[in-house]
Amino acid sequence: MWHAYTNDDLFGHGTAILITGGALPVSIGPGDTVAIETPTGRRLVVATAIEGDSGMTLTDKQGINLVLLRIEESPAFEDFKLSDGFSRQVWIIERCEDT
Domain edges within the chain: 2-98
Give the mean pLDDT of the chain. Answer: 84
pTM over 0.95: no
Confidence band, pLDDT 50/70/90 cuts, at residue 84 = low
> Tens digit of pLDDT for each residue in 44-77?
999 987 777 678 999 999 899 999 998 876 666 6
CA distances in angstroms from 81 to 49, 53, 86, listed in the order given: 28, 24, 8
Half-sphere exposure of 12 (CA within 13 A, CB side): 3
CA-based nearest residue to 64, from 41, 79, 44: 44
Share of the chain above pLDDT 70, in %: 84
